[in-house]
Amino acid sequence: MKKAVAPEPVKKAVAAEPVKKKAAAAKPVKSVTKAAAKPESRTALVRRARRINRELAEVYPYAHPELDFENPFQLLVATVLSAQTTDLRVNQTTPALFAKYPTPEDLAAANPEEVEELIRPTGFFRAKTKSIMGLATALRDEFGGEVPGRLEDLVKLPGVGRKTAFVVMGNAFGRPGITVDTHFGRLVRRWKWTEETDPDKVEKAVGELFPKSDWTMLSHRVIFHGRRICHARKPACGACPIAPLCPAYGEGETDPEKAKKLLKYEKGGFPGQRLKPPQSYLDAGGIPAPPLGATAPPATGE
Protein backbone atom coordinates (compact mmCIF):
# COMPACT_ATOMS: atom_id res chain seq x y z
CA MET A 1 0.00 0.00 0.00
CA LYS A 2 2.71 2.46 0.93
CA LYS A 3 4.69 1.77 -2.22
CA ALA A 4 1.64 2.25 -4.41
CA VAL A 5 0.60 5.54 -2.75
CA ALA A 6 4.02 7.18 -2.39
CA PRO A 7 4.62 7.99 -6.11
CA GLU A 8 1.31 9.86 -6.39
CA PRO A 9 2.22 13.13 -4.56
CA VAL A 10 5.69 13.14 -6.11
CA LYS A 11 4.19 12.92 -9.56
CA LYS A 12 1.82 15.81 -8.81
CA ALA A 13 4.57 18.01 -7.40
CA VAL A 14 6.74 17.55 -10.47
CA ALA A 15 3.88 18.31 -12.85
CA ALA A 16 2.62 21.35 -10.94
CA GLU A 17 5.75 23.53 -11.19
CA PRO A 18 6.19 23.71 -15.00
CA VAL A 19 2.47 24.37 -15.46
CA LYS A 20 2.74 27.30 -13.07
CA LYS A 21 5.73 28.77 -14.89
CA LYS A 22 4.11 28.34 -18.27
CA ALA A 23 1.01 30.21 -17.15
CA ALA A 24 3.10 33.18 -15.96
CA ALA A 25 4.91 33.75 -19.22
CA ALA A 26 3.59 31.41 -21.88
CA LYS A 27 4.40 33.41 -24.98
CA PRO A 28 7.99 34.40 -24.14
CA VAL A 29 8.92 30.87 -23.06
CA LYS A 30 7.46 29.42 -26.25
CA SER A 31 9.43 31.92 -28.32
CA VAL A 32 12.72 31.11 -26.60
CA THR A 33 12.15 27.36 -26.96
CA LYS A 34 11.57 27.69 -30.70
CA ALA A 35 14.68 29.80 -31.20
CA ALA A 36 16.80 27.29 -29.30
CA ALA A 37 15.37 24.22 -31.03
CA LYS A 38 15.65 25.41 -34.62
CA PRO A 39 18.15 27.86 -36.16
CA GLU A 40 16.46 31.00 -37.46
CA SER A 41 16.49 31.44 -41.22
CA ARG A 42 17.50 34.75 -42.79
CA THR A 43 13.92 35.38 -43.87
CA ALA A 44 12.60 34.66 -40.37
CA LEU A 45 15.22 36.98 -38.87
CA VAL A 46 14.23 39.85 -41.16
CA ARG A 47 10.56 39.34 -40.35
CA ARG A 48 11.17 39.18 -36.61
CA ALA A 49 13.45 42.25 -36.66
CA ARG A 50 10.90 44.28 -38.59
CA ARG A 51 8.11 43.17 -36.31
CA ILE A 52 10.13 44.30 -33.29
CA ASN A 53 10.57 47.67 -34.96
CA ARG A 54 6.81 47.94 -35.54
CA GLU A 55 6.08 47.00 -31.93
CA LEU A 56 8.59 49.59 -30.66
CA ALA A 57 6.97 52.23 -32.88
CA GLU A 58 3.71 51.64 -31.02
CA VAL A 59 5.39 51.75 -27.62
CA TYR A 60 7.48 54.85 -28.37
CA PRO A 61 5.56 56.94 -30.95
CA TYR A 62 7.34 59.96 -29.44
CA ALA A 63 10.90 58.58 -29.78
CA HIS A 64 13.38 61.37 -30.51
CA PRO A 65 17.03 62.35 -30.07
CA GLU A 66 17.48 63.00 -26.36
CA LEU A 67 19.89 65.89 -26.74
CA ASP A 68 18.52 69.44 -26.63
CA PHE A 69 19.43 71.42 -29.75
CA GLU A 70 18.09 74.22 -31.92
CA ASN A 71 20.35 73.93 -34.97
CA PRO A 72 22.90 71.53 -36.55
CA PHE A 73 25.86 73.21 -34.80
CA GLN A 74 24.31 72.72 -31.36
CA LEU A 75 23.48 69.09 -32.12
CA LEU A 76 27.00 68.41 -33.38
CA VAL A 77 28.64 69.90 -30.27
CA ALA A 78 26.16 68.24 -27.89
CA THR A 79 26.75 64.83 -29.49
CA VAL A 80 30.52 65.15 -29.10
CA LEU A 81 30.03 66.14 -25.45
CA SER A 82 27.75 63.15 -24.82
CA ALA A 83 30.63 60.66 -24.97
CA GLN A 84 31.11 58.86 -21.63
CA THR A 85 28.24 60.71 -19.94
CA THR A 86 24.44 60.93 -20.02
CA ASP A 87 22.43 63.06 -22.41
CA LEU A 88 20.85 64.57 -19.30
CA ARG A 89 24.17 65.92 -18.07
CA VAL A 90 24.94 67.33 -21.52
CA ASN A 91 21.53 69.01 -21.71
CA GLN A 92 22.09 70.58 -18.30
CA THR A 93 25.51 71.87 -19.41
CA THR A 94 25.02 73.19 -22.96
CA PRO A 95 22.63 76.11 -22.26
CA ALA A 96 25.45 78.15 -20.70
CA LEU A 97 27.91 77.04 -23.41
CA PHE A 98 25.65 78.00 -26.32
CA ALA A 99 24.61 81.25 -24.65
CA LYS A 100 28.25 82.33 -24.55
CA TYR A 101 29.35 80.78 -27.87
CA PRO A 102 26.31 80.58 -30.19
CA THR A 103 28.25 80.12 -33.46
CA PRO A 104 31.28 78.14 -34.68
CA GLU A 105 33.15 81.44 -35.07
CA ASP A 106 32.50 82.32 -31.42
CA LEU A 107 33.60 78.92 -30.13
CA ALA A 108 36.68 78.81 -32.35
CA ALA A 109 37.88 82.12 -30.88
CA ALA A 110 37.11 81.19 -27.25
CA ASN A 111 39.53 80.93 -24.35
CA PRO A 112 40.06 77.16 -23.88
CA GLU A 113 40.14 77.47 -20.10
CA GLU A 114 36.74 79.16 -20.08
CA VAL A 115 35.30 76.43 -22.31
CA GLU A 116 36.77 73.75 -20.06
CA GLU A 117 35.08 75.26 -17.05
CA LEU A 118 31.71 75.42 -18.79
CA ILE A 119 31.74 71.80 -19.95
CA ARG A 120 33.46 70.34 -16.86
CA PRO A 121 30.27 68.53 -15.69
CA THR A 122 30.33 66.31 -18.81
CA GLY A 123 33.68 64.75 -17.86
CA PHE A 124 36.89 64.47 -19.92
CA PHE A 125 36.48 68.23 -20.31
CA ARG A 126 40.02 68.94 -21.58
CA ALA A 127 39.82 66.44 -24.42
CA LYS A 128 36.26 67.51 -25.24
CA THR A 129 37.27 71.18 -25.27
CA LYS A 130 39.98 70.38 -27.77
CA SER A 131 37.48 68.49 -29.94
CA ILE A 132 34.66 71.04 -29.96
CA MET A 133 37.01 73.99 -30.45
CA GLY A 134 38.77 72.05 -33.20
CA LEU A 135 35.54 71.25 -35.03
CA ALA A 136 34.37 74.85 -34.60
CA THR A 137 37.62 76.05 -36.18
CA ALA A 138 37.23 73.59 -39.06
CA LEU A 139 33.63 74.71 -39.62
CA ARG A 140 34.76 78.33 -39.70
CA ASP A 141 37.77 77.81 -41.96
CA GLU A 142 36.60 75.03 -44.28
CA PHE A 143 32.80 75.17 -44.39
CA GLY A 144 31.95 78.84 -44.07
CA GLY A 145 30.66 78.42 -40.53
CA GLU A 146 28.03 75.86 -41.59
CA VAL A 147 27.74 72.23 -40.52
CA PRO A 148 28.08 69.99 -43.59
CA GLY A 149 25.37 67.42 -44.23
CA ARG A 150 27.56 64.74 -45.85
CA LEU A 151 29.09 61.81 -43.99
CA GLU A 152 32.47 62.16 -45.69
CA ASP A 153 32.73 65.80 -44.55
CA LEU A 154 31.46 65.28 -41.03
CA VAL A 155 33.89 62.50 -40.14
CA LYS A 156 36.82 64.77 -41.04
CA LEU A 157 35.93 67.10 -38.18
CA PRO A 158 37.86 66.66 -34.88
CA GLY A 159 36.07 64.34 -32.45
CA VAL A 160 33.46 63.28 -35.01
CA GLY A 161 33.08 59.59 -35.90
CA ARG A 162 30.40 57.74 -37.82
CA LYS A 163 28.04 57.54 -34.84
CA THR A 164 28.11 61.31 -34.28
CA ALA A 165 27.87 61.96 -38.01
CA PHE A 166 24.74 59.80 -38.35
CA VAL A 167 23.11 61.53 -35.36
CA VAL A 168 23.62 64.88 -37.08
CA MET A 169 22.65 63.66 -40.55
CA GLY A 170 19.49 61.94 -39.37
CA ASN A 171 18.22 64.57 -36.96
CA ALA A 172 19.47 67.85 -38.39
CA PHE A 173 19.31 67.05 -42.12
CA GLY A 174 16.76 64.22 -42.37
CA ARG A 175 19.24 61.82 -44.00
CA PRO A 176 18.92 58.17 -42.89
CA GLY A 177 21.57 56.72 -40.62
CA ILE A 178 21.95 54.08 -37.91
CA THR A 179 23.33 55.29 -34.58
CA VAL A 180 25.25 52.47 -32.91
CA ASP A 181 25.68 53.60 -29.33
CA THR A 182 26.10 51.35 -26.27
CA HIS A 183 22.37 50.69 -25.93
CA PHE A 184 21.83 49.95 -29.61
CA GLY A 185 24.72 47.49 -29.83
CA ARG A 186 23.68 45.70 -26.66
CA LEU A 187 20.04 45.26 -27.68
CA VAL A 188 20.60 44.10 -31.25
CA ARG A 189 22.94 41.42 -29.93
CA ARG A 190 20.36 40.37 -27.33
CA TRP A 191 17.81 40.10 -30.09
CA LYS A 192 20.22 38.04 -32.22
CA TRP A 193 20.09 40.51 -35.10
CA THR A 194 23.87 40.25 -35.20
CA GLU A 195 26.75 38.90 -33.12
CA GLU A 196 29.11 41.67 -34.24
CA THR A 197 30.65 43.95 -31.61
CA ASP A 198 32.46 46.45 -33.84
CA PRO A 199 30.10 49.45 -34.31
CA ASP A 200 30.76 49.71 -38.05
CA LYS A 201 29.98 46.02 -38.53
CA VAL A 202 26.87 46.29 -36.35
CA GLU A 203 25.71 49.24 -38.44
CA LYS A 204 26.16 47.27 -41.66
CA ALA A 205 24.51 44.09 -40.35
CA VAL A 206 21.45 45.84 -38.96
CA GLY A 207 21.17 48.14 -41.96
CA GLU A 208 20.75 45.08 -44.18
CA LEU A 209 17.64 44.03 -42.22
CA PHE A 210 15.70 47.25 -42.80
CA PRO A 211 14.93 49.68 -45.61
CA LYS A 212 17.06 52.82 -45.43
CA SER A 213 14.03 54.97 -44.66
CA ASP A 214 13.65 53.18 -41.29
CA TRP A 215 17.21 53.67 -40.05
CA THR A 216 16.96 56.94 -38.12
CA MET A 217 13.72 56.18 -36.27
CA LEU A 218 14.81 52.60 -35.67
CA SER A 219 17.86 53.97 -33.86
CA HIS A 220 15.73 56.21 -31.64
CA ARG A 221 13.31 53.41 -30.75
CA VAL A 222 16.00 50.88 -29.90
CA ILE A 223 17.90 53.40 -27.77
CA PHE A 224 14.69 54.47 -26.03
CA HIS A 225 13.92 50.83 -25.24
CA GLY A 226 17.43 50.20 -23.94
CA ARG A 227 17.23 53.17 -21.59
CA ARG A 228 13.72 52.51 -20.30
CA ILE A 229 13.11 48.76 -20.23
CA CYS A 230 15.90 46.55 -21.59
CA HIS A 231 18.66 47.66 -19.21
CA ALA A 232 22.19 46.28 -19.24
CA ARG A 233 22.19 44.73 -15.76
CA LYS A 234 18.52 44.36 -14.85
CA PRO A 235 16.29 44.19 -17.93
CA ALA A 236 12.59 44.45 -17.06
CA CYS A 237 11.57 41.33 -19.01
CA GLY A 238 8.20 41.03 -17.24
CA ALA A 239 7.20 44.53 -18.40
CA CYS A 240 8.62 44.26 -21.92
CA PRO A 241 6.15 44.60 -24.81
CA ILE A 242 8.35 42.61 -27.18
CA ALA A 243 9.11 39.73 -24.81
CA PRO A 244 7.49 37.10 -27.12
CA LEU A 245 9.93 38.13 -29.88
CA CYS A 246 13.05 38.21 -27.70
CA PRO A 247 15.50 35.27 -27.64
CA ALA A 248 17.00 36.67 -24.41
CA TYR A 249 13.73 36.71 -22.46
CA GLY A 250 14.41 35.65 -18.88
CA GLU A 251 17.82 37.31 -18.52
CA GLY A 252 16.10 39.89 -16.34
CA GLU A 253 13.18 40.10 -13.92
CA THR A 254 10.17 38.23 -15.33
CA ASP A 255 7.68 38.94 -12.55
CA PRO A 256 5.42 41.71 -13.95
CA GLU A 257 5.08 43.65 -10.69
CA LYS A 258 8.79 43.51 -9.87
CA ALA A 259 9.66 44.38 -13.47
CA LYS A 260 7.48 47.51 -13.35
CA LYS A 261 9.68 48.86 -10.56
CA LEU A 262 12.69 48.70 -12.90
CA LEU A 263 11.16 50.97 -15.55
CA LYS A 264 12.93 54.29 -16.09
CA TYR A 265 12.14 57.78 -17.38
CA GLU A 266 8.52 58.32 -18.43
CA LYS A 267 7.79 54.57 -18.22
CA GLY A 268 8.60 54.67 -14.52
CA GLY A 269 7.13 58.13 -13.92
CA PHE A 270 10.50 59.89 -13.77
CA PRO A 271 11.83 62.94 -15.69
CA GLY A 272 13.38 62.39 -19.09
CA GLN A 273 16.75 63.62 -20.29
CA ARG A 274 15.74 66.76 -22.18
CA LEU A 275 15.05 70.10 -20.54
CA LYS A 276 13.06 71.03 -23.65
CA PRO A 277 11.56 67.78 -25.02
CA PRO A 278 9.27 67.63 -28.07
CA GLN A 279 5.58 68.30 -27.48
CA SER A 280 4.73 64.73 -28.52
CA TYR A 281 6.81 63.47 -25.58
CA LEU A 282 5.01 65.77 -23.15
CA ASP A 283 1.64 64.73 -24.59
CA ALA A 284 2.54 61.09 -23.89
CA GLY A 285 3.20 61.84 -20.22
CA GLY A 286 6.90 62.59 -20.45
CA ILE A 287 8.39 64.89 -17.82
CA PRO A 288 11.05 67.51 -18.68
CA ALA A 289 14.43 67.11 -16.99
CA PRO A 290 15.40 69.67 -14.33
CA PRO A 291 18.17 72.22 -15.01
CA LEU A 292 21.64 71.75 -13.51
CA GLY A 293 21.62 72.11 -9.74
CA ALA A 294 17.84 71.80 -9.37
CA THR A 295 16.31 69.37 -6.91
CA ALA A 296 15.09 66.28 -8.74
CA PRO A 297 14.41 62.54 -8.26
CA PRO A 298 17.46 60.26 -8.46
CA ALA A 299 19.02 59.99 -11.93
CA THR A 300 17.59 57.14 -13.99
CA GLY A 301 20.15 57.01 -16.81
CA GLU A 302 22.52 54.20 -17.68
**What's the rounded Cα separation, in Å, for the pair 208 and 89?**
34
Provide CB contacts within 8 A for 294, sequence distance 6+: none
* CA count, 13 A, side-chain hemisphere, 58: 8
Q: Do the Cβ atoms of 64 and 220 come closer than 8 Å?
A: yes
- Residue 128 is a catalytic residue: no
**What's the rounded Cα separation, in Å, for the pair 149 and 173?**
6
Q: Do the Cβ atoms of 187 and 221 come closer than 8 Å?
A: no
- DSSP category for residue 70: S
Q: Is 6 exposed, middle or buried (0-12, 13-18, 19+ CB in 10 A)?
A: exposed
Which candidate in 106, 130, 153, 181 is catalytic? 181
- Residue 181 is a catalytic residue: yes
**What's the rounded Cα separation, in Å, for the pair 222 and 217?**
9
Which candidate in 163, 214, 264, 267 is catalytic? 163
Closest to 136 in 3D by CA, of 68, 72, 69, 67? 72
- The set of catalytic residues is 163, 181
